[in-house]
Structure 1
Protein backbone atom coordinates (compact mmCIF):
# COMPACT_ATOMS: atom_id res chain seq x y z
CA UNK A 1 0.00 0.00 0.00
CA UNK A 2 1.46 3.34 -1.04
CA UNK A 3 0.57 6.57 0.70
CA UNK A 4 -0.03 9.30 -1.90
CA UNK A 5 1.91 7.22 -4.43
CA UNK A 6 5.31 7.67 -2.79
CA UNK A 7 7.29 6.31 0.11
CA UNK A 8 8.92 8.52 2.68
CA UNK A 9 12.61 7.63 2.85
CA UNK A 10 14.04 9.69 5.65
CA UNK A 11 15.93 7.64 8.18
CA UNK A 12 16.77 4.01 8.93
CA UNK A 13 14.08 1.87 10.50
CA UNK A 14 13.82 2.04 14.26
CA UNK A 15 11.13 0.90 16.64
CA UNK A 16 8.57 3.44 17.76
CA UNK A 17 9.21 4.24 21.41
CA UNK A 18 6.35 3.69 23.81
CA UNK A 19 6.69 7.18 25.34
CA UNK A 20 7.51 9.41 22.41
CA UNK A 21 8.90 12.83 23.19
CA UNK A 22 9.28 15.81 20.93
CA UNK A 23 12.47 15.43 18.92
CA UNK A 24 12.70 18.93 17.55
CA UNK A 25 10.89 20.81 14.84
CA UNK A 26 11.21 21.22 11.13
CA UNK A 27 9.96 24.55 9.83
CA UNK A 28 8.97 23.08 6.46
CA UNK A 29 5.18 22.97 6.16
CA UNK A 30 3.35 20.55 3.92
CA UNK A 31 -0.16 20.17 2.64
CA UNK A 32 -0.82 16.73 4.12
CA UNK A 33 -0.76 17.87 7.75
CA UNK A 34 2.33 15.91 8.82
CA UNK A 35 3.47 18.75 11.09
CA UNK A 36 0.15 18.90 12.93
CA UNK A 37 -0.03 15.11 13.17
CA UNK A 38 3.52 14.97 14.52
CA UNK A 39 2.66 17.58 17.14
CA UNK A 40 -0.42 15.58 18.14
CA UNK A 41 1.75 12.45 18.45
CA UNK A 42 4.27 14.35 20.58
CA UNK A 43 7.08 13.83 18.08
CA UNK A 44 9.09 15.74 15.53
CA UNK A 45 8.08 15.69 11.89
CA UNK A 46 10.92 13.42 10.72
CA UNK A 47 10.24 10.96 13.55
CA UNK A 48 6.52 10.90 12.74
CA UNK A 49 7.22 10.33 9.03
CA UNK A 50 9.65 7.52 9.91
CA UNK A 51 6.94 5.82 12.03
CA UNK A 52 4.51 6.14 9.12
CA UNK A 53 7.04 4.60 6.71
CA UNK A 54 7.74 1.75 9.11
CA UNK A 55 4.01 1.20 9.58
CA UNK A 56 3.49 1.16 5.82
CA UNK A 57 6.19 -1.50 5.48
CA UNK A 58 4.57 -3.64 8.19
CA UNK A 59 1.16 -3.33 6.52
CA UNK A 60 2.70 -4.28 3.15
CA UNK A 61 4.89 -7.13 4.33
CA UNK A 62 3.14 -8.66 7.35
CA UNK A 63 -0.51 -7.67 7.21
CA UNK A 64 -1.23 -8.24 3.52
CA UNK A 65 -2.18 -4.57 2.92
CA UNK A 66 -4.84 -4.83 5.66
CA UNK A 67 -5.20 -1.59 7.62
CA UNK A 68 -5.77 -2.47 11.28
CA UNK A 69 -6.09 0.41 13.74
CA UNK A 70 -5.77 -2.18 16.53
CA UNK A 71 -2.61 -3.77 15.12
CA UNK A 72 -0.19 -5.06 17.77
CA UNK A 73 2.53 -3.16 15.89
CA UNK A 74 2.24 0.50 17.00
CA UNK A 75 3.66 1.88 13.75
CA UNK A 76 1.19 -0.18 11.66
CA UNK A 77 -1.69 1.00 13.87
CA UNK A 78 -0.52 4.62 13.46
CA UNK A 79 -0.25 4.19 9.68
CA UNK A 80 -3.80 2.76 9.59
CA UNK A 81 -5.20 5.64 11.64
CA UNK A 82 -3.43 8.29 9.54
CA UNK A 83 -4.48 6.64 6.27
CA UNK A 84 -8.11 6.46 7.36
CA UNK A 85 -8.06 10.04 8.64
CA UNK A 86 -6.64 11.27 5.34
CA UNK A 87 -9.32 9.36 3.42
CA UNK A 88 -12.06 10.83 5.63
CA UNK A 89 -10.64 14.34 5.19
CA UNK A 90 -10.48 13.89 1.41
CA UNK A 91 -14.11 12.76 1.44
CA UNK A 92 -15.18 15.80 3.44
CA UNK A 93 -13.21 18.10 1.13
CA UNK A 94 -14.87 16.53 -1.91
CA UNK A 95 -18.27 17.21 -0.34
CA UNK A 96 -17.34 20.83 0.31
CA UNK A 97 -16.24 21.25 -3.30
CA UNK A 98 -19.48 19.74 -4.62
CA UNK A 99 -21.49 22.06 -2.36
CA UNK A 100 -19.43 25.04 -3.50
CA UNK A 101 -20.06 24.20 -7.15
CA UNK A 102 -23.78 23.77 -6.51
CA UNK A 103 -24.07 27.17 -4.87
CA UNK A 104 -21.73 28.95 -7.26
CA UNK A 105 -19.29 29.92 -4.50
CA UNK A 106 -16.42 27.92 -5.94
Structure 2
Protein backbone atom coordinates (compact mmCIF):
# COMPACT_ATOMS: atom_id res chain seq x y z
CA UNK A 1 0.00 0.00 0.00
CA UNK A 2 1.50 3.25 -1.12
CA UNK A 3 0.93 6.52 0.59
CA UNK A 4 1.57 9.65 -1.29
CA UNK A 5 2.17 12.98 0.27
CA UNK A 6 1.92 16.23 -1.52
CA UNK A 7 5.29 17.88 -2.07
CA UNK A 8 6.00 20.65 0.40
CA UNK A 9 6.34 24.06 -1.14
CA UNK A 10 9.20 26.12 0.23
CA UNK A 11 8.18 29.20 2.14
CA UNK A 12 9.85 32.10 0.42
CA UNK A 13 9.34 34.67 3.15
CA UNK A 14 8.40 34.86 6.80
CA UNK A 15 5.16 36.44 7.78
CA UNK A 16 5.83 39.99 9.01
CA UNK A 17 5.05 39.07 12.64
CA UNK A 18 7.62 36.26 12.51
CA UNK A 19 10.27 38.73 11.41
CA UNK A 20 9.32 41.07 14.26
CA UNK A 21 9.49 38.24 16.77
CA UNK A 22 12.94 37.16 15.58
CA UNK A 23 14.19 40.74 15.88
CA UNK A 24 12.72 40.94 19.39
CA UNK A 25 14.42 37.69 20.41
CA UNK A 26 17.80 39.02 19.28
CA UNK A 27 17.17 42.27 21.16
CA UNK A 28 16.19 40.41 24.33
CA UNK A 29 19.25 38.16 24.07
CA UNK A 30 21.55 41.19 24.01
CA UNK A 31 19.72 42.79 26.94
CA UNK A 32 19.96 39.60 29.03
CA UNK A 33 23.72 39.49 28.44
CA UNK A 34 24.07 43.16 29.43
CA UNK A 35 21.89 42.75 32.53
CA UNK A 36 24.00 39.77 33.59
CA UNK A 37 27.15 41.80 33.09
CA UNK A 38 25.65 44.47 35.35
CA UNK A 39 24.80 41.92 38.04
CA UNK A 40 21.04 41.62 37.51
CA UNK A 41 19.17 38.29 37.48
CA UNK A 42 16.46 37.92 34.83
CA UNK A 43 13.19 36.47 36.16
CA UNK A 44 10.97 36.49 33.05
CA UNK A 45 10.37 37.94 29.60
CA UNK A 46 7.16 39.30 28.06
CA UNK A 47 7.20 39.54 24.28
CA UNK A 48 3.51 40.28 23.76
CA UNK A 49 4.67 43.58 22.26
CA UNK A 50 7.59 42.50 20.05
CA UNK A 51 8.52 46.07 19.17
CA UNK A 52 9.25 46.78 22.84
CA UNK A 53 9.79 43.57 24.88
CA UNK A 54 9.65 43.64 28.68
CA UNK A 55 12.33 41.91 30.74
CA UNK A 56 11.52 41.37 34.44
CA UNK A 57 14.47 41.24 36.83
CA UNK A 58 14.82 40.26 40.47
CA UNK A 59 14.83 43.20 42.86
CA UNK A 60 18.26 44.15 44.16
CA UNK A 61 20.06 47.03 45.84
CA UNK A 62 21.20 48.12 42.37
CA UNK A 63 17.56 48.88 41.49
CA UNK A 64 17.39 51.45 44.30
CA UNK A 65 20.66 52.98 43.06
CA UNK A 66 19.15 53.37 39.58
CA UNK A 67 16.10 55.14 41.06
CA UNK A 68 18.27 57.45 43.19
CA UNK A 69 20.48 58.35 40.22
CA UNK A 70 17.50 59.10 37.96
CA UNK A 71 18.29 56.25 35.56
CA UNK A 72 15.05 54.44 36.51
CA UNK A 73 11.63 55.44 37.82
CA UNK A 74 8.73 53.93 39.72
CA UNK A 75 5.67 53.58 37.52
CA UNK A 76 3.20 51.54 39.54
CA UNK A 77 2.11 51.41 43.17
CA UNK A 78 -0.49 49.12 44.69
CA UNK A 79 -1.76 46.71 47.29
CA UNK A 80 -1.64 42.99 46.59
CA UNK A 81 -2.25 39.76 48.47
CA UNK A 82 1.10 40.04 50.24
CA UNK A 83 0.87 43.75 50.97
CA UNK A 84 1.96 46.98 49.37
CA UNK A 85 4.24 46.99 46.35
CA UNK A 86 5.79 49.32 43.80
CA UNK A 87 7.28 48.64 40.40
CA UNK A 88 10.30 50.30 38.84
CA UNK A 89 11.50 50.43 35.27
CA UNK A 90 14.24 51.60 32.94
CA UNK A 91 14.99 51.21 29.25
CA UNK A 92 17.89 49.22 27.92
CA UNK A 93 18.67 48.72 24.23
CA UNK A 94 15.06 48.83 23.07
CA UNK A 95 13.64 46.79 25.94
CA UNK A 96 11.72 47.77 29.03
CA UNK A 97 13.31 46.38 32.20
CA UNK A 98 11.00 46.15 35.24
CA UNK A 99 11.06 44.89 38.82
CA UNK A 100 8.69 44.72 41.78
CA UNK A 101 9.51 45.79 45.34
CA UNK A 102 7.31 44.52 48.17
CA UNK A 103 6.91 46.68 51.29
CA UNK A 104 6.79 44.85 54.60
> TM range, normalised to the smaller chain?
under 0.3
| TM-score normalised according to structure 1 size | 0.28
> Which structure: larger Rg?
2
Which structure shows the bigger proportion of residues in helix conformation? 1
| TM-score normalised according to structure 2 size | 0.28
